[in-house]
Amino acid sequence: MSDTSDSTDDAGEAPDGGDDAAAAVDAEEVRHVADLARVRLDDDEVAAFADQFGDILDYFEALDEVPETEREEELVNVMRPDEVEAGLSQEEALSNAEETEDGFFVGPKVS
């Protein structure tokens, strides 16, 4: 997404400090994460997700038992000559947009 100004925000309280095993998630946290992800939720969804996230994050807790493991990736860069190639035409690139004007995408108002 184009607005990343607060994408590095904390998603809530940092997990260290307390050692309560249950990863309980409250409605406020669900709303906060949904806000970061730009997904609006209704109250029923918030309540259902808070329940389900508690169970799922509890299950993810088992990752704590995983030993630190060396990662030997055999990755190489894939390069090609910087030459102009055929791509989408402007018309094709705009063909699925909800709203366009003078060959541009029209987005929602900024503020």
Q: For another protein, which residue of 39, 82, 84, 103 counts as binding (CB under 8 A)? A: 39
Q: Distance between terminal CA atoms of the chain? A: 16
Neighbouring C-beta atoms of residue 20, cutoff 10 Å = 7
Q: Which residue has the tokens 């190489």?
A: 76
71 binds another protein (CB under 8 A): yes
Q: Phi and psi for 105 in degrees, rounded to 5?
A: -75, 145
Q: Are 25 and 54 in contact (CB under 8 A)?
A: yes
One residue of 43, 78, 84, 101 binding another protein per CB under 8 A: 78
**18 near another protein, rule: CB under 8 A:** no
Residues that bind another protein (CB under 8 A): 1-3, 8-16, 29-30, 33-42, 45, 48-49, 52-53, 55-57, 59-60, 62-72, 78, 80, 88, 92-93, 95-99, 105-111
